[in-house]
Amino acid sequence: KAGVTQTPRYLIKTRGQQVTLSCSPISGHRSVSWYQQTPGQGLQFLFEYFSETQRNKGNFPGRFSGRQFSNSRSEMNVSTLELGDSALYLCASSLALEYEQYFGPGTRLTVT
Amino acid sequence: DAKTTQPPSMDCAEGRAANLPCNHSTISGNEYVYWYRQIHSQGPQYIIHGLKNNETNEMASLIITEDRKSSTLILPHATLRDTAVYYCIVRAYNQFYFGTGTSLTVIP
């Protein structure tokens, strides 16, 4: 069974731009979560989707948004990029809420 | 969600058992204990989880104390490929909180 895939793997953007990251969960998984990882803050939870609905949200500004499609694929969007948004963005999928999560390889975003 | 406390780093000789402790003294009755590990710049990898009974799978064993205030992850025969940051997480319904984890170094 294929794992979680994330595209693109690497991305360079400039301040003020916006970016969209994509995540394809493991087949049959209906829950998708997003995390941001930086050297200073570690792994921080962004949001979680289940059946196209956002179920939980972390403490991030409204510039960070996401959505989930009917096939469980998910996208996250960051608008008006700031230098501090440079990070590894990780997507994780699970069968449903409360099940163990399986992570993708991440998207490395660099904001210049 | 309850928070966890882990030692920042540990060493283990190759071939020996690695015992990674975790304190979660404020855990509530419906919160599970999860363990993940992250090898440099890769996505975290699920290892094992449990509620109150000890658990074992092909990767590791999880020992949870009777009062559930602490747990230990055991890698029975550590190899160099087990060098990683290990995260202990407790979770109920909502999101996982990853703490700072334990950086395990397996020494040849």
Residues of B in contact with A102 (CB under 8 A): 46
Task: Please check whether residue B61 is in contact with residue B102, taking contact to mean a CB–CB distance below 8 angstroms.
Answer: no
Mean pLDDT, to the nearest integer, of A2-23? Answer: 97
pLDDT in tens, A51-85: 999 998 888 999 999 999 999 999 999 999 999 99
Task: Please check whether residue B60 is in contact with residue B49, taking contact to mean a CB–CB distance below 8 angstroms.
Answer: no
Q: Which pLDDT score is estimated for B72?
A: 97
CB neighbour list of residue A41: distance below 8 Å, 6 or more residues apart: none
Mean pLDDT, to the nearest integer, of B46-55? Answer: 93
pLDDT in tens, B18-43: 999 999 988 888 888 999 999 987 89
Residue A42 to residue B98, Cβ atoms within 8 A: yes
Task: Please check whether residue A112 is in contact with residue A88, taking contact to mean a CB–CB distance below 8 angstroms.
Answer: no
* Total Cβ atoms within 10 A of residue A53: 9
Residues of B in contact with A88 (CB under 8 A): 41
Of A48, A104, A106, the CB nearest to B95: A48
Note whether A110 contacts B: Cβ–Cβ < 8 A: no
Evaluate the CA torsion angle B5, B55, B44, B16 in order and state its sign.
Answer: positive
pLDDT at position B61 over 80: yes
Residue B34 to residue A92, Cβ atoms within 8 A: no
Of A94, A79, A76, residue with least CA distance to A36:
A76
Residues of B in contact with A44 (CB under 8 A): 98
Judged on CB neighbours under 10 Å (0-12, 13-18, 19+), B19 is: middle
